[in-house]
């Protein structure tokens, strides 16, 4: 059985401001995020990971590098484009309120009804299906290369990509993808697989090690 740990990057300035970042946008991690990444690293430090994988986008890359530096046995790190954040095209850099005002139906679909989201209505955006496809391909490649009996792998990615990608791995219908809400910054979710193709959820959105109160700006 291969156990897969999925980590969302630390909180950024645009997270705090309620802005879409996406794959093309990026903003610095908040100062307090570095402290929370250390808490994450301390939480994971005794786990031996066969390999680590990360989105190449800066906020995820820094979260990965800072976390892995805390581990008792640091694994090698590979960057994978399949773990990048959901591309939101022209929405990137805009506030949620601005997007809601300009694209009410598509904003509502992206947040509440993914099965109704039409990427052709948002210039430069990906579809939920395309994100699930690339995410699955990346994870299956990682498991095929490094997975095995009693093996742990760790992945660093982004809120929308993780919600979408992990949902696809465990077979959640698009219509129900957002029903459980978003994932917290610096959260850990765990899946297991015995064959590299079918996945079971063990833990979702664990932030217990951070000791922070629930905050809507911490999730997406």
Per-residue pLDDT tens over the stretch 29-59: 999 999 999 999 999 999 999 999 999 999 9
First to last CA, the chain: 30
Partners of 154 in beta bridges:
5, 52
Could you give the number of structural domains in the chain? Answer: 1
The predicted structure's pLDDT at residue 214: 63
Enclosing domain of residue 118: 1-216
More confident residue, 130 or 214: 130
Separation of alpha carbons 129 and 127, rounded Å: 5
More confident residue, 200 or 220: 200
- How much of the chain is in helix, strand and coil states, percent to nearest 5? 45, 20, 40
Report whether 163 belongs to an annotated binding site. no
The predicted structure's pLDDT at residue 212: 75
Report whether 9 belongs to an annotated binding site. yes
Question: pLDDT class for 175, splitting at 50, 70, 90?
Answer: very high
Of 159, 160, 172, the residue nearest 200 (C-alpha): 172
Of 20, 13, 7, 184, the residue nearest 83 (C-alpha): 7
Tell me the pLDDT of the chain averaged across its residues: 96
Report whether 10 belongs to an annotated binding site. yes
Report whether 13 belongs to an annotated binding site. yes
More confident residue, 213 or 171: 171
Report whether 73 belongs to an annotated binding site. no
Separation of alpha carbons 132 and 13, rounded Å: 26
Of 134, 72, 73, 55, the residue nearest 64 (C-alpha): 55
For range 128-155, the mean pLDDT = 98
Report whether 11 belongs to an annotated binding site. yes
The predicted structure's pLDDT at residue 217: 61
**Percent over 90 (pLDDT), the chain:** 95
Residue ranges with strand state E in 119-195: 151-157, 188-193
Which DSSP letter does residue 163 get?
H
Return the CATH number at 159.
Answer: 3.40.50.1240
């Amino acid at each position: 059985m291969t156990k897969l740990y999925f980590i969302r990057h630390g909180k950024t300035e645009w997270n705090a401001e309620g802005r879409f970042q996406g794959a093309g946008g990026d903003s610095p991690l908040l100062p307090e995020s570095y402290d929370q990444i250390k808490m994450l690293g301390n939480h994971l430090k005794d786990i031996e990971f066969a390999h680590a994988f990360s989105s190449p986008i800066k906020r995820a890359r820094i979260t990965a590098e800072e976390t892995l530096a805390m581990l008792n046995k640091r694994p090698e790190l590979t960057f994978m484009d399949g773990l990048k954040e959901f591309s939101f095209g022209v929405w990137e850099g805009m506030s949620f309120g601005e997007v809601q005002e300009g694209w009410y139906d598509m904003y509502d679909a992206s947040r509440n009804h993914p099965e109704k989201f039409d990427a052709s209505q948002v210039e430069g955006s990906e579809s939920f299906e395309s994100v699930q496809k690339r995410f699955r391909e990346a994870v299956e490649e990682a498991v095929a290369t490094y997975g095995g009996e009693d093996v742990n792998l760790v992945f660093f990615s982004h809120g929308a990509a993780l919600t979408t990608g992990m949902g696809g791995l465990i077979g959640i219908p698009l219509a129900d993808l957002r029903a459980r809400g978003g994932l917290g910054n610096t959260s850990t979710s765990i899946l297991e697989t015995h064959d590299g193709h079918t996945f079971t959820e063990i833990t979702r959105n664990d932030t217990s090690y951070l000791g922070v109160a629930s905050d809507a700006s911490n999730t997406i």
